[in-house]
Amino acid sequence: MKNITEKDIIEKLKLVKDPEIGIDIWTLGLVYKITIDEEGVEVLMTLTTPFCPFADELIADVEKKVGELGYPEGDVRVELTFEPAWEPSEEVRMMLGV
C-alpha cells in the first residue's frame, strides 16, 4: 500500500455528504481527528445531532470512501463523540442560510 497521507484521507472525507444537509462532513466540521497507524485509519467524528437518523449510513460511507485508498475492510475505524457538541462555523452558517 502506498504511503497514504492525512490529505488523501481528507479528500475522501470531502466525498461523504450529510444526507439531510447536502454538505460534506469535512466542510461541516464533523471530523475532529484523523489517526493513521499500523492498524489502519481511525476517524474521530461527531454528528450534527446525537439523534441523527443517518448515523449508520454516514459511518459506512466514511469506511467505504477511506477504504478506497487501499485499506482492507476493518482497517478504517470510525469513532463517534459528542464532546464537544458540534457547532457550525460562520462559513457553514452562511452556506445553510442561518
Instruction: Report pLDDT digits (tens) over 16-58.
Output: 999 988 999 999 999 999 999 988 999 999 999 999 999 999 9
C-alpha distances (whole Å) from 2 to each of 61, 70, 74 are: 22, 8, 18
Q: Indicate the burial class of 77 (C-beta count within 10 angstroms; 0-12, 13-18, 19 or more).
A: middle
Determine the Cα angle at 22 with ends 14 and 4, to 5°: 10
pTM score over 0.85: yes
CATH number of 6-96: 3.30.300.130
Instruction: Break the chain into its structural domains and give their ranges.
Output: 6-96
Confidence at 14, pLDDT banded by 50, 70, 90: very high
Q: Taking 70 as the threshold, does the pLDDT of residue 2 lie above it?
A: no
Structure confidence at residue 95 (pLDDT)? 85
Q: Taking 60 as the threshold, does the pLDDT of residue 1 lie above it?
A: no
